[in-house]
């Protein structure tokens, strides 16, 4: 730098709320955002120990993070979650709604109580979190929903889950348009088969191998694959992408 060069302008700290941030994709997204310099509110529902571990990993590396419990379908708890983010860090710039519930069943055998639970978390939870994000995100901010590539792939047994995530996709462009003039982006990522505990649970090695060979890249995705895309879409480099569904799946449908 010479004496004629303008001084660097300090970049204000950005703040992220990551729901479902204690495990799986949500945890890895929280770590990636922290690595990119964001303060992170790690939301969880029941697994306090995993949320604390995520926060400790971030703070040990010099980042800032706090764990905050909230059921994403409970509007009062989610409002309190955003209150805590504002009280602790001064505002909210990024919201990644990673909290979700998976249930596998044929439609003929589907337990309707399970259907209600899945839709409560995946549909109502998305609306509750998106509502707070729409009210509180600062200019330059981003909301990122999480869907699934099964919405396009249409695998048997995923009817309840795919239907709930199709709802997430359907509101993406609507919310982006409703936030016109606020300099806030709204996008949704739709991961393919990804090696998380939720995905691997209950599947045989043969089933996992078959699903791993579905994409042309012939492997399962990793949480890191998904987190890097989430960081791009919610960061300055991805701010011209808006109202889009991005299938992060190695080349599946």
**Is residue 211 very low, low, confident or very high in pLDDT (cuts 50, 70, 90)?**
confident
pLDDT at 148 over 60: yes
Q: Dihedral of CA 39/147/197/210: which sign?
A: negative
Q: CA–CA separation, 184 vs 177, rounded Å?
A: 10
pLDDT the model gives residue 203: 84
Q: What is the DSSP string of 4-55?
A: TSPPPPPPPPPEEEEETTTSHHHHHHHHHHHHTT-EEEEEESS-HHHHHHHH
Q: What is the mean pLDDT of the chain?
A: 94
Q: CA–CA separation, 159 vs 98, rounded Å?
A: 20
Catalytic site residues?
A: 161
pLDDT tens readout for residues 98-131? 999 999 999 999 999 999 999 999 999 999 999 9
Q: CA–CA separation, 23 vs 10, rounded Å?
A: 32
Q: How many residues does the chain have?
A: 253
pLDDT at 11 over 60: no
CB contact set of 109 (below 8 Å; sequence gap of 6+): none
| Residue pair 105/28 in contact by the 8 Å Cβ criterion | no
pLDDT the model gives residue 1: 44
Residue ranges and CATH numbers for the domains of the chain are: 15-191+227-247 (3.40.50.720)
By C-alpha distance, which of 150, 137, 152 is closest to 234?
A: 137
pLDDT tens readout for residues 169-202? 999 999 999 999 999 999 999 999 998 887 888 7
Tokens of 161: 């889950």
pLDDT the model gives residue 10: 52
- 10-14, 19-23, 192-196: which range is least confident on average? 10-14
Q: How many CB atoms lie within 10 A of CB 154?
A: 10
Kindly state the greatest CA–CA separation across the chain.
73
């Amino acid at each position: 730098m010479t004496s004629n060069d303008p001084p660097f302008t300090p970049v204000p700290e950005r703040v992220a709320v990551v729901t479902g941030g204690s495990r799986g994709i949500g945890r890895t997204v929280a770590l990636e955002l922290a690595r990119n310099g964001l303060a992170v509110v790690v939301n969880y529902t029941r697994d306090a120990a995993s949320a604390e571990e995520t926060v400790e990993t971030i703070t040990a590396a010099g980042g800032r993070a706090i764990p905050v419990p909230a059921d994403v379908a409970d509007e009062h708890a989610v409002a309190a979650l955003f209150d805590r983010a504002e009280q602790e860090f001064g505002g909210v710039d990024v919201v990644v709604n990673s909290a979700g519930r998976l249930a596998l069943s044929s439609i003929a055998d589907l337990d309707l109580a399970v259907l209600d639970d899945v839709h409560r978390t995946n549909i109502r939870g998305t609306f509750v979190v998106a509502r707070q994000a729409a009210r509180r995100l600062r200019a330059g901010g981003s909301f990122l929903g999480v869907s699934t590539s099964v919405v396009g792939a249409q695998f048997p047994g995923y009817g309840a889950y795919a239907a709930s995530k199709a709802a997430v996709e359907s509101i993406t462009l609507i919310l982006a348009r409703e936030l016109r003039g606020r300099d806030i982006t709204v996008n949704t990522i739709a991961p393919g088969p990804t090696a998380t505990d939720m995905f691997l649970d209950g599947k045989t090695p043969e089933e996992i191998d078959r699903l791993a060979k579905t994409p042309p890249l012939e492997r399962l995705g990793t949480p890191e694959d998904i987190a890097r895309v989430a960081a791009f879409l919610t960061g300055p480099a991805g701010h011209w992408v808006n109202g889009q569904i991005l299938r992060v799946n190695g080349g599946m449908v």
